[in-house]
Amino acid sequence: MRIYTVSEIWRRRLVLLLVMVGLVLVTWIALNRSGPAIGVATNPQDRYSLRDVTTNKRALALTFDISWGTVMPSRVFHILQRDHVLATFFVSGPWARQNPTLIKNMVKAGDQVESHGWAHVNYTGLSQSGIQENLQKAGQVIEAITGRRPTLVRPPNGDFSPRTIAAARSLGYTTVTWGTDSLDWMNPGVSTIIRRVVTRAHPGDIVLLHASDTCKQTDLALPAIVKDLRTQGYRLLTVSQLLAEGTPQYRG
């Protein structure tokens, strides 16, 4: 068995330290040769989703995700029409293809129709080409019905990352999530849905609601939500209208 002297031990440690320093230096040079680190976005809108709008005006947007069903989508739309409320619908491609008449009626009423993608899957689990194919397929269906190419996308389950945002932006889409979540998809009770929205709503807010058939209480809560928000002095706008009221905020 070889016995190392103190000087040999320190010599080996010094060599190891120099190797580690060299590796760190090489990595730093490679990452900074052409600017910021590869894959690290410096602009908030390249890393995060649109959550709300900074404004001193009492205005917000009610938004509804629709992926499936024929009962709740119609009920929600008719309530909004009856109460003269404009909203934004994020619709999936398959649902849009099966319900073109309702979508045309939404557009005619002044509502905004945007994309919820094609397959209801988490985008972080897809490749860049998979995300792009998903958005393109849904976008083509929506455009064929509305005559307008969607420019906003709400990813299923609100799932996103800088990579998915970049893939969406490459096709001209802004990723939109929300500031206030009604949790109506959990069917927690009508009073709970109403309370969450009217107590958490704030100027420039983007409120998440759902109009798929699996959400059984949204239509029951919606009239009270509209009434209470208006009592608080809020104007209920589409997302595009809301963006014109202030500065968009991109956050994780």
Query: Which pLDDT tens digit goes with each residue over 3-20?
Result: 545 456 556 665 566 556
Integer Cα distance of 192 and 249 in angstroms: 27
Query: Which pLDDT tens digit goes with each residue over 162-199?
Result: 999 999 999 999 999 999 999 999 999 999 999 999 99
Domain boundaries, the chain: 1-38, 44-251
Query: Tokens for 84?
Result: 């003269």
pLDDT value at position 45? 87
Closest CA to 235 of 85, 53, 48, 12: 85
- Show Cβ contacts of residue 98 under 8 Å, excluding neighbours closer than 6 positions: none
Query: Which pLDDT tens digit goes with each residue over 26-39?
Result: 444 443 433 333 33
Helices (H), 172-217: 190-200
Stretch 77-89: mean pLDDT: 98
Residue 53 has pLDDT above 90, yes or no: yes
> Please, what CATH class does the domain formed by 44-251 belong to?
alpha beta
pLDDT value at position 25? 52
Closest CA to 180 of 62, 80, 67: 62
Concatenated DSSP letters of 49-113? EEEEEE-SS-EEEEEEEE-S-SHHHHHHHHHHHHTT---EEEE-HHHHHH-HHHHHHHHHHT-EE
Give strand pairing partners of 52.
205, 249
pTM: 0.84
